[in-house]
Chains A and B, each alone.
Chain A
Amino acid sequence: MAADGTIERAREGKGQVWKENFRQAVEVIRTHRMRSGLLIVGVAIGVTTVLAMVTVMSGLGKRVQKDVVSANRPYLFISRFDPMGGGRDRRDLLRRKQLSIRDVKFLEENCGSCERVDLNIDPQGRMRVLRYEGERTNLIQVVGSTHNFGHMYSITIEHGRFYTEFEADRSRRVIVLGFGPAKDLFPHRDPIGKWIKIDNHQYEVVGAMATRGSILGGISDNYAVVPYTTYEKDLGDRFDDYQMGITIKPEYELEEGVEEVHALLRASRKLGPGEENDFYITTSEGFREMLASITTYISLVLVVISSIGLMVGGIGVMNIMLISVSERTREVGIRMAMGARRTDIMQQFLIEAATLTGTGGLIGIFLGLLAARGVARLIRFPYSVPLIWIVVAFVFSASIGLIFGLYPANRAARMDPIKALHYE
């Protein structure tokens, strides 16, 4: 019975000291509003930047992935050279033979794993203005493509339709407008069936896309698509870059598709054995991984940079806690005389430090999420609260208090009660 009672009391006792220490911490912070406030603001700013950055980066990463790897099925992207690769002389690579509709046709006939094959002509940044009656668009890109473009890039058509293979084969002057130009030229009208002008040629609008809300320049809302044949006829230029997109049938693995396309393209482009590829295959999976690694890397660098700011905050905590400890030397003596153990004193100052930085952390989390939301609104990407990062931010800021409070708290706990009691 008695032993049980003692254990019970001991367990309870710990809780009592803990509560008292926390109450004390809040009280001390409230008493020293100015210096506590400054420190809390410092930590809050640090946490705000870290969290805002992480949130923006992870949202951005997701967004970019969604844009680039937009098809909800695996696909291959083929260009003359690695779009992300460096090292080789670019002029040399540009001398390679363009991908062509012959390659497309060859694949369509022979490739068992290919679902659809698309050719598109990238004007390499050259812009044009579209006009309709008094209205005109900003400078936008007009790309040429087969009728598979919409399928390839998961385009949603809001009005009308995409042009057909028949129209493409006959190089009809038909055009599908992105959400941006459609809105610019036909603010309150149905664009379908209207004839717009590019330079001196007239094109019939057959379709208008829904908004993608993308943040990417190239394939976003501000562009229009015409059949590749029409493009070559009216808009072609020696700087154009021909690319291919291929979706793989669901019953095939991505790797199988890559292998088959690789072999067939070599045949189509008449490469002898041992001859180097004059094309490059990127897979949707490859894009995704690359983007993921880039965004992770950037996030990491940003976090490390802003953590340095928080470390500076940590030194501030240490400074304030050292002042706090020396101001309260006598209080430490009194508490020790009343039965506080060294660990109780240690705990008291650690809790005080962690409460300071933890409060800064909470404010920082709040502001950081707010800032991230603002940025998300501004550049239109999905804003998601990274729960794990909130936890990390809080634990991290409280730990800064604990780590940098350790030395001051230890100093308090090591005091000689008699000397502390007589400290002036």
Chain B
Amino acid sequence: MLIKVSGVKKIYEVGIQKIEAVAGIDLEIERNEYVAIMGPSGSGKSTFMNLLGCLDTPSAGDYWLNGKEVSNLSDDELARIRNREIGFVFQTFNLLPRATAAQNVELPLIYGGIPADERRRRAEEVLESVGLTDRAKHRPNELSGGQRQRVAIARAMVNRPSIILADEPTGNLDSKTGIEIMSLFDKIHQAGNTIVMVTHEKHIAEYTRRVIRLLDGKIESDVRTG
């Protein structure tokens, strides 16, 4: 079992109001699954993804990642998990604007303490796997949206994480580019990686093998498709 979540809640307090953004979720994800999380806006998809990605800790409940309880870790330990176990892909790419593609890809390796020559080698390798060898020296503003997202995907994979989390990775792309990105994810999944992806679009969700629907912070349905 790669991920086991039980009774997880995230409660935001805004003034006197309490918002249960995640209102008690139980979920298990196996290694090499390819999961889509869907649901209406405000249903808690992003909040749940942040919990899975150890960017945030749950208000209640337990979260085991790779057999390790991670819901009560210190900030430093969470940083270490994010570095080693998790690869993030964001809707808005979130690349460092002044850094080249290669430097962006190297970022997790720096915080992982990998020496420079090995970093360079691994960044080259993973940039090649997303088809951007010739763009390694380009900065984000010299790349198209699809290329930027591929750099972000390369960055997410470079530390060989246990799981890749993508929050609406095609949300800022046109549909043709979106399809290109999805086939890249397909390839990554086939290489043995585990992917959890938030999406609004049905045709994107169709690439995945399991669709979980959220409503008001709870799982409404969980359907395996492949």
Contact = CB atoms under 8 A, between A and B. Distances in A.
B128 to A, nearest CB: 21
Interface string B112-136: 1111100000000000000000000
A17 B83 CA distance: 13
Q: Which of A15, A331, A334, A344 has the most CB of B within 10 A?
A: A334
A337 B88 contact: yes
B115 A341 contact: no
A17 B53 CA distance: 22
A16 B83 contact: no
Contact of B79 (A14, A19, A339): A339
B80 interface: yes
Interface stretch (B25-33, B90-98, B192-200): B90-98
Contact of A339 (B83, B94, B95, B115): B83
A14 B115 CA distance: 10
A82 interface: no
A12 B75 contact: no
B54 to A, nearest CB: 10
B79 A17 contact: no
Contacts of A13: 111-114
Given A9-B113, A17-B111, A337 B84 contact: no
B150 interface: no
Given A17-B110, A20-B110, A421-B90, A337 B53 contact: yes
Interface in B28-55: 50, 53, 55
A20 B114 CA distance: 11
Residue of B53, B82, B95, B155 ringed by the most chain A CB atoms within 10 A: B82
A338 B53 CA distance: 11
Contacts of B159: 339
A20 B104 CA distance: 12
Nearest to B80: A339
Contact of A27 (B79, B83, B98): B98
Interface string A370-410: 00000000000000000000000000000000000000000
A342 B83 CA distance: 13
Interface residue range, chain A:
20 to 34
Contact of A341 (B76, B90, B95): B76
A10 B111 contact: no
B113 A338 contact: no
B107 interface: yes
Given A417-B55, A418-B50, A418-B56, A334 B94 contact: yes
B139 to A, nearest CB: 12
B76 A342 contact: yes
A418 B108 CA distance: 17
Of listed B80, B94, B113, residue having the most chain A CB within 10 A:
B113
Interface in A325-384: 330-331, 333-344
B76 A10 contact: no
Nearest to B46: A418
A417 B76 CA distance: 13
Interface string B47-73: 000100101100000000000000000
A200 interface: no
Contact of B107 (A9, A10, A15, A338): A338
B96 to A, nearest CB: 6
Given A418-B55, A418-B56, A338 B50 contact: no
Between A15, A330, A342, A417, the greatest number of chain B beta carbons within 10 A of the residue's beta carbon is seen for: A417
B76 A339 contact: no
Given A31-B98, A421-B94, A335 B111 contact: yes
A343 B76 CA distance: 9
B79 A336 contact: yes
A14 B112 CA distance: 9
A16 B113 contact: yes
Given A31-B98, A342-B76, A16 B114 contact: yes
B96 A334 contact: yes
Contacts of B79: 336, 339-342, 344
A122 B215 CA distance: 104
Contact of A337 (B94, B115, B116): B94
Interface of A: 9-10, 12-17, 19-20, 27, 31, 330-331, 333-344, 417-418, 421
15 contacts: A12-B113, A16-B115, A17-B110, A27-B98, A331-B96, A333-B94, A334-B95, A337-B53, A337-B94, A338-B108, A341-B75, A342-B75, A343-B76, A418-B50, A421-B94
